[in-house]
């Protein structure tokens, strides 16, 4: 299975290149975007679209959304080769949101290099990032798998639903980030994560269900798997940030105490705010809200999280969500090899150490 997963990676990149070549020319522009009314400027579009997009894509990223999609298509009894272009939809969308998020957060680094908007300018980066929201959806019009009209309509409606909810999740996260108090509860946190992180993964699994013609209940179950998996992933990511900070292992592309410095309202922070004494909560809020944070203050904030066993609590919750994700798979009639891969994936997101 692992060999087969690895073997898809070049096919995925080839498909991305068919949607967005590294070298833009007239022929591509005409084929992909239609005849110009006057004349395209391929050189300008090389700078505005192809260069920034491939800069980001070439920085790595495991293309796991595309691979997950193909594993699912396979597991549902269809031929992944027929659907490689569709695998690019969530992959390119995801990379687009990364560019936009970095502008929103004022991030300085991305995948071990300067964030795109600092490297190429906010104008170029943001337009390219937003173009990545629409460019991959052309696959549905191009219709390489010969889907009928009802299936294509269902694909659009699913995408619009999930992309709307993505912006709800991001909106909640930003609004919380912009206020000093920690007043949000666990349910709101889980909703935010389900929307912000989960909807893009729901696109992966629901798209696989739709294009292979699964009944609604299979699509729903796969959506639930994706949501639980994403929540497990996000909580684990936040826990890892704290654990790496404790190990002073700041070299994983993240600065020391990144989330504390950013003032992120993680599940650990929310749990601590609910269980610590008022004085500690006030101090935690103060450190998270501060413009500048010393290393000692980062450690102090983590001490507060640990005084309420909030790191352990979050680690347990992540494991529960991973288990819940896996449990959904039992309701499906998946090819056993694919089911194993999906289960391994759920285990991986909570067991990884970076």
131 near its own copies, rule: CB under 8 A: yes
Nearer to its own copies, 26 or 251 (CB): 26
Beta strands in 16-79 (DSSP E): none
Footprint (CB under 8 A) of its own copies, residues 175-204: 175-178, 184-188, 190-192, 194
DSSP 77: T
Nearer to its own copies, 192 or 209 (CB): 192
Among 11, 13, 133, 324, binds its own copies (CB under 8 A): 133
Nearer to its own copies, 186 or 303 (CB): 186
Buried-exposed string 236-268: b where 16+ CB fall within 10 A, e elsewhere = bebbbbbbbbeeeeeeeebbbbbbbbbbbbbbb
Footprint (CB under 8 A) of its own copies, residues 204-263: 227
114 near its own copies, rule: CB under 8 A: no
Residues 230 and 330 sit within 8 Å (Cβ to Cβ): no
Among 84, 135, 268, 342, binds its own copies (CB under 8 A): 135
Nearer to its own copies, 167 or 352 (CB): 167
Q: Can you say how many angstroms the Cα of residue 158 is from the centroid of all Cα atoms in its chain?
A: 17
- Tell me which long-range contacts 73-77 makes (C-beta under 8 A, separation of at least 24): 73/208, 73/211, 73/212, 74/335, 74/338, 75/334, 75/335, 75/337, 75/338, 75/339, 75/341, 75/342, 76/208, 76/209, 76/212, 76/214, 76/218, 76/334, 76/335, 76/338, 77/212, 77/335
- Of 44-52, 63-71, 82-90, 214-222, which part binds its own copies (CB under 8 A)? 44-52
Q: Which residues bind its own copies (CB under 8 A)?
A: 29, 33-34, 36-41, 43-45, 47-49, 100, 103-106, 121-124, 126-128, 130-131, 133-135, 137-138, 140-141, 149-150, 152-153, 156-157, 160-161, 163-165, 167-168, 170-172, 174-178, 184-188, 190-192, 194, 227
């Amino acid at each position: 299975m692992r060999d087969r997963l690895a073997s898809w990676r070049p096919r995925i990149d080839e498909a991305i290149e068919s949607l967005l070549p590294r070298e833009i020319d007239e022929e591509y522009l005409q084929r992909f975007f239609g005849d110009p009314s006057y004349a395209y400027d391929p050189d300008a579009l090389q700078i505005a679209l192809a260069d920034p997009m491939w800069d980001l894509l070439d920085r790595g990223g495991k293309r796991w959304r595309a691979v997950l999609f193909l594993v699912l298509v396979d597991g549902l009894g269809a031929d992944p080769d027929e659907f490689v272009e569709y695998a690019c939809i969530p992959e390119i969308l995801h990379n687009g949101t990364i560019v936009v998020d970095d502008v929103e957060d004022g991030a300085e680094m991305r995948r071990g290099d300067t964030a795109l908007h600092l490297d190429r300018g906010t104008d170029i980066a943001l337009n390219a990032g937003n173009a990545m929201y629409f460019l991959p959806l052309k696959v549905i019009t191009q219709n390489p798998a010969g889907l009928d009209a009802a299936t294509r309509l269902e694909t659009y409606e699913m995408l619009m639903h999930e992309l709307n909810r993505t912006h709800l999740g991001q909106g909640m996260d930003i609004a919380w980030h912009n206020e000093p108090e920690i007043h949000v509860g666990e349910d709101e946190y889980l909703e935010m994560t389900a929307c912000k992180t989960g909807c893009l993964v729901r696109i992966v699994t629901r798209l696989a269900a739709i294009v292979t013609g699964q009944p609604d209940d299979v699509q729903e179950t796969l959506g639930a798997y994706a949501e639980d998996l994403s929540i497990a992933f996000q909580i684990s990511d936040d826990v890892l940030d704290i654990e790496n900070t404790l190990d002073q292992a700041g070299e994983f592309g993240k600065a020391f105490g990144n989330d504390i410095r950013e003032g992120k309202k993680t599940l650990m922070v929310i749990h601590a705010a609910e269980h610590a004494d008022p004085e500690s909560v006030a101090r935690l809020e103060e450190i998270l809200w501060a413009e500048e944070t010393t290393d000692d203050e980062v450690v102090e904030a983590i001490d507060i999280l640990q005084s309420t066993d909030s790191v352990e609590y979050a680690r347990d919750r992540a494991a529960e969500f991973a288990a819940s994700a896996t449990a959904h798979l039992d309701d499906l009639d998946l090819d056993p090899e694919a089911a194993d891969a999906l289960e391994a994936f759920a285990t991986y997101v909570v067991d990884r150490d970076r």
